[in-house]
Amino acid sequence: MRVLALDDIDIQGIKVLKEAGLEVEARGKMAEEELKNVLPAFDALIVRSATKVTASALAGAKRLRIIGRAGVGIDNIDVEAATEKGILVVNAPEGNTIAAAEHTLALMLALARNIPQASALLKQGIWEKKKFVGVELRHKTLGILGLGKIGSEVARRARAFDMRLLAYDPYVAPEQAERLGVALLPLEEVLKQADFLTLHLPLTRDTYHLLDREKLSLLKPTARLLNVARGGIVDEEALYEALTSGRLAGAALDVFEEEPLTESPLFKLDNVIVTPHLGASTAEAQVAVAVEVAQDVVRCLKGEPVLNAVNIPVVRGQAMETLRPYLKLVERLGSFLSQLMEGPILEAELSTSGELAQHELSPLTNAFLKGLLRPLLGEAVNYVNAPVVARKRGIRIRENKTQEMGYYTTLITATVKGRREGHTVAGAVNQRGEPRLVGLNGYSLDAELEGHMLVVPHIDKPRIIGPVGLAIGDYGINIAGMQVGRREAGGEAVMILRIDSEVPREVLGAIRQVDGVLDVRYLRL
């Protein structure tokens, strides 16, 4: 299998890939057109922030199974397009946290004390002290937008400088902020109170130009802005205006809306210091992110679960071990239902009751939908794109869970509905970790979910099981197991047969002829 590793990812990452037996082509930044041309020959792609992985670049990438981002921000990858194509996207969420946090602190001190400007003058032979009187960090208010991994590490370090800490992050629990000694406030409040404002948000549709003219005008004229997150979060034109009109004291920028950027009106300002997206550029961070992402690429190409997926629900450690047999179960239930249904599926519902319900269950939905869609769409649908594909086909998806326990410690019920018919199956995992079918349309059963199966709805009466068995046996086909479910004697019932080999059409016809048989469906799991 072949991996295209771009943007000069660290050699240690390349080593991990090669040691796993993968063929690696390592290059620097690649332009969209070239990427589009070469990508069809690769199973995996690794990038940093320089190469743009667009929908067009991915269009012909039929072999591609995974895109790895050796870093955090995934705004240079069209994740939606990748998901739709069933391509997994992973990043390295932790490897460069400290590097980015330390760079932020370095910029904050450099900005407060005019270090780059003073250094540049002295190197020109100018001993200038008066112009470079700075400010102290002590007792100043640091406003943090985005109190995630980097924002938190910045907060920890800023405390050592005796700064007062405020943050805006609607997704962080107040207790977590409290533990860091940070007060959570609304955005406008943080902007109004900050002496230093630092950004640690991802660039998304929500955060694009979050700091526009209006928001920048809320900052104190003595405030200084730090951006080690993403260029697009700040409107650079509005920032330029604020810095040149005395409405903002200074800015330190590591990132820009367009990169690389070598010319900008901002670069001409004395109160602006800049670095060329160096936040993650430490020897330590580059090894860490390259190795982190390479390991996930290896896992994915070996068919193992990855640790840092961005476009599928991630389950780690023990929770994954608990979930694993149920992933198999729901995929089989999905496949079973899909083959049982006639006509298009309009609704799909997955309900979990019992012990398992205490876990994050969205991975089950992905696996269930994959099972449901595979018989219809084959390899085009996988664990990554199953929910997107299902929604695109107009299937309404519902998930329910309750920790209430019945006869089974965990019972999973799946229902699909179409225009004319609907079916419900129930499944459980036995003590050996095997998936079992324990209910079908209200009948209780206990059947294996494996191999070739026949589902035969019939009327509960004598002389029906024998003739069905004969119809199959007459063709030299062996029955491996059989289960009958009925609600009441003499009513409708269902027979589930496990067969050792493929079942030809004539056999299905012969079964249909048996008096009392209502229908017959042949399924392959």
Ligand X SMILES: O=C(O)C(=O)COP(=O)(O)O
432: DSSP letter: T
Alpha carbons 374 and 333: distance in angstroms, whole number: 12
Which H or E run includes 159?
helix 149-159
Residue placing its CB nearer to ligand X in the complex, 96 or 351: 96
Site residues for ligand NAI, 260-279, by CB under 6 A, read: 277, 279
Verify whether residue 277 is a known catalytic residue: yes
Q: Give the SS3 label for residue 100.
A: helix
Residue placing its CB nearer to ligand NAI in the complex, 232 or 427: 232
| Residue 48 contact among ligand X, ligand NAI, none, beta carbon within 5 to 8 Å by kind | ligand X
Residue 72 near ligand X by CB under 6 A: yes
Select which of 259, 347, 355, 434 is catalytic: 259
Q: Which stretch binds ligand NAI (CB under 6 A): 149-157, 175-183, 240-248, 383-391?
A: 149-157
Residue placing its CB nearer to ligand X in the complex, 289 or 453: 289
Contact 81, 55 (CB under 8 A): yes
Residue 481 near ligand NAI by CB under 6 A: no
Q: Can you spell out the DSSP letters for 201-214? A: ----TTTTTSB-HH
Contact 424, 413 (CB under 8 A): yes
Q: In the chain, how long is the greatest CA-to-CA distance? A: 107
289: DSSP letter: H
Residue 279 near ligand X by CB under 6 A: yes
Q: Which stretch binds ligand NAI (CB under 6 A): 131-139, 163-171, 408-416, 486-494?
A: 163-171
Select which of 103, 164, 224, 277 is catalytic: 277
Q: Count Cβ atoms within 10 A of the Cβ of residue 19 and give its class: 0-12 exposed, 13-18 middle, 19 or more buried.
A: exposed
Among 68, 71, 325, 371, binds ligand X (CB under 6 A): 71
Verify whether residue 200 is a known catalytic residue: no
| Residue 449 contact among ligand NAI, ligand X, none, beta carbon within 5 to 8 Å by kind | none
Report residue 147 as tokens. 């109190």
Residue placing its CB nearer to ligand NAI in the complex, 169 or 236: 169
Select which of 164, 230, 332, 498 is catalytic: 230
Among 48, 103, 359, 436, binds ligand X (CB under 6 A): 48
- 336: which residues sit within 8 A by CB, 6+ positions away? 371, 425, 437, 449, 453, 523, 525
Site residues for ligand NAI, 40-59, by CB under 6 A, read: none
Q: Give the SS3 label for residue 358.
A: helix
Q: Which stretch binds ligand NAI (CB under 6 A): 96-104, 318-326, 370-378, 462-470?
A: 96-104
Alpha carbons 156 and 163: distance in angstroms, whole number: 10
CA 522 vs CA 166, 447, 469, 501: distances in Å: 63, 15, 15, 11
Alpha carbons 514 and 493: distance in angstroms, whole number: 14
Residue 281 near ligand X by CB under 6 A: yes
Residue 152 near ligand X by CB under 6 A: no
Residue placing its CB nearer to ligand NAI in the complex, 234 or 372: 234
Q: Which stretch binds ligand NAI (CB under 6 A): 5-13, 122-130, 195-203, 316-324?
A: 195-203
Closest CA to 415 of 512, 469, 349: 349
Residue 100 near ligand NAI by CB under 6 A: yes
Closest CA to 69 of 98, 97, 90, 40: 90
Among 129, 130, 138, 170, binds ligand NAI (CB under 6 A): 170
User: Angle at which helices 317-340 and 362-377 pack, to 10 degrees?
Assistant: 40
Alpha carbons 399 and 372: distance in angstroms, whole number: 15
Alpha carbons 45 and 17: distance in angstroms, whole number: 12
Residue 143 near ligand X by CB under 6 A: no
Q: Can you spell out the DSSP letters for 417-429? A: E-SS-EEEEEEEE
Residue 169 near ligand NAI by CB under 6 A: yes
Residue 477 near ligand NAI by CB under 6 A: no
Residue 232 near ligand X by CB under 6 A: no
CA 144 vs CA 129, 156, 187, 230: distances in Å: 31, 12, 10, 14
Residue 49 near ligand X by CB under 6 A: yes
Q: How far is the CB of 251 from ligand X (least distance, A)?
A: 18
Q: Give the SS3 label for residue 226.
A: strand
- Residues 82-101, one symbol each (x = binds ligand X by CB under 6 A, - = not), give --------------x-----
Among 13, 86, 148, 439, binds ligand NAI (CB under 6 A): 148
Residue placing its CB nearer to ligand NAI in the complex, 6 or 301: 6
Q: By the criterion CB under 6 A, which residues form the site for ligand X?
A: 48-50, 71-73, 96, 277, 279-281
Q: By the criterion CB under 6 A, which residues form the site for ligand NAI?
A: 71-73, 96-97, 100, 146-151, 168-172, 200-203, 206-207, 228-230, 254-255, 277, 279-280
Q: Which residues are catalytic?
A: 230, 259, 277
